[in-house]
């Protein structure tokens, strides 16, 4: 297929995943705003939401102060925020539109109608805070619909691999970032362990990747501890938002591409090594390395894999 087609498919899926992540972040924000808390505590939470989505500076340049209504608007609809949900869906649609012929009619319809309906939602929204739960629900539903049509209607060929790779490169990056922004709450400390603050913070983190209940199921309702959370978010193959899960998917689909084209790339080798490494880790070892250090090198490595992948398939020259 055309290199540009592959690139458009990849980015459309990546932007859709990003819209989904933003919706989940906002869900956490909404939850906090319902829980009585000190003014400072809750402001901090909104700040870290901005930080996790990597747009704190841009936001502050425009609005100067942290305000939940403004943050919500900024994250959902602001046309000036290039990674607002609206712009993510718009960009995803633009990308698909450019390669209309590479996706099924069902996929195009799902993306196209999401875009048109979101525009309608924006116009009809009167009280953004009050209507937030419905908007979030709607976004998640649309993302599931789009992904469902991809799974059910696309040919399972190279185009499919590029779509899936877009999803998991984004998810690996997002999960790593969300843990990194919050890594300090996962540090072992005698003062923290078992305190209410811990439990609250940890549950928020789980919720932000939609894994609160999944966690409970996975660990049989045991007490939440930082090692279990590290295990769950980084090393648990049953958790679809864990780092290892994304790495396994990327490894698999890069492998499929390599077989399909009968060509190999540095990205194949590198992701293979990453997967091997993460498989042999456990939560204690990560704590020994230092969670922050681990995440830092994880983000660097996955970026390197992406760069090599991009060179190979999108630019046609591996340097």
Closest CA to 309 of 248, 250, 260, 249: 250
Name the strand (E) or helix (H) holding 216.
helix 212-218
Q: Residue 233 and residue 104: Cα distance in Å, rounded?
A: 34
Considering only 59, 108, 160, 245, the residue that binds another protein (CB under 8 A) is 108
Total residues interacting with another protein, rule: CB under 8 A: 24
Q: Residue 4 and residue 60: Cα distance in Å, rounded?
A: 35
Give the up-direction half-sphere exposure of residue 260: CA atoms within 13 A in the CB hemisphere.
15
* Residue 226 in contact with another protein, rule: CB under 8 A: no
CB of 67 to another protein, least distance (A): 30
Q: Residue 16 and residue 20: Cα distance in Å, rounded?
A: 6
* Residue 10 in contact with another protein, rule: CB under 8 A: no
* Residue 31 in contact with another protein, rule: CB under 8 A: no
First to last CA, the chain: 21
Considering only 33, 112, 225, 264, the residue that binds another protein (CB under 8 A) is 112
Closest CA to 103 of 219, 180, 1: 1
Show the site string, 165-204: x = touches another protein by CB under 8 A, - = not. Answer: ----------------------------------------
Write out the binding residues for another protein, residues 245-264 only, by CB under 8 A. Answer: 257, 261, 263
Residue 106: both structure tokens together: 């069902």
Considering only 58, 94, 301, 318, the residue that binds another protein (CB under 8 A) is 94
* Residue 158 in contact with another protein, rule: CB under 8 A: yes
Contact at 8 Å (CB) between 154 and 160?
Answer: yes
Considering only 101, 127, 191, 280, the residue that binds another protein (CB under 8 A) is 101
Q: In the complex, which residues of this chain contact another protein (CB under 8 A)?
A: 1-6, 94, 97-101, 105, 108-109, 112-113, 116, 158, 257, 261, 263, 313, 316
């Amino acid at each position: 297929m055309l290199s540009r087609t592959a690139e458009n498919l990849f980015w459309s899926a990546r932007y859709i995943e990003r819209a989904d992540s933003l919706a989940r972040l906002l869900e956490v924000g909404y939850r906090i705003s319902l829980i009585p808390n000190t003014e400072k505590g809750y402001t901090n939470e909104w700040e870290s939401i901005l930080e996790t989505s990597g747009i704190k500076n841009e936001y502050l340049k425009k609005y100067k102060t942290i305000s939940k209504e403004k943050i919500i608007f900024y994250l959902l609809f602001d046309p000036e925020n290039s990674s607002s949900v609206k712009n993510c869906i718009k960009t995803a649609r633009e990308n698909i539109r450019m390669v209309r012929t590479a996706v099924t009619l069902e996929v195009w319809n799902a993306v196209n109608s999401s875009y048109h309906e979101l525009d309608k939602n924006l116009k009809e929204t009167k009280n953004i805070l009050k209507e937030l739960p419905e908007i979030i629900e709607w976004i998640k539903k649309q993302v599931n619909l789009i992904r469902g049509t991809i799974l059910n209607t696309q040919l399972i060929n190279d185009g499919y691999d590029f779509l899936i790779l877009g999803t998991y490169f984004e998810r690996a990056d997002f999960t790593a970032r969300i843990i990194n922004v919050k890594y300090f709450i996962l540090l072992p400390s005698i003062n923290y362990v078992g305190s209410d603050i811990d439990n609250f913070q940890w549950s928020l983190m789980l919720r932000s990747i939609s894994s609160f209940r999944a966690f409970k199921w996975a660990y049989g309702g045991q007490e939440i501890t930082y090692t279990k959370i590290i295990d769950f978010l980084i090393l648990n193959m049953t958790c679809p938002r864990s780092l290892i899960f994304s790495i396994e998917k990327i490894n698999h689909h890069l492998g499929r591409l390599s077989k399909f084209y009968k060509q190999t790339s540095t990205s194949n080798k590198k992701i293979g090594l990453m997967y091997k490494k993460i498989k042999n880790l456990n939560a204690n070892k990560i704590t020994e390395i230092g969670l922050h250090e681990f995440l830092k090198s994880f983000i660097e490595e996955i970026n390197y894999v992406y760069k090599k992948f991009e060179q190979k398939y999108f630019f046609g020259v591996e340097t």
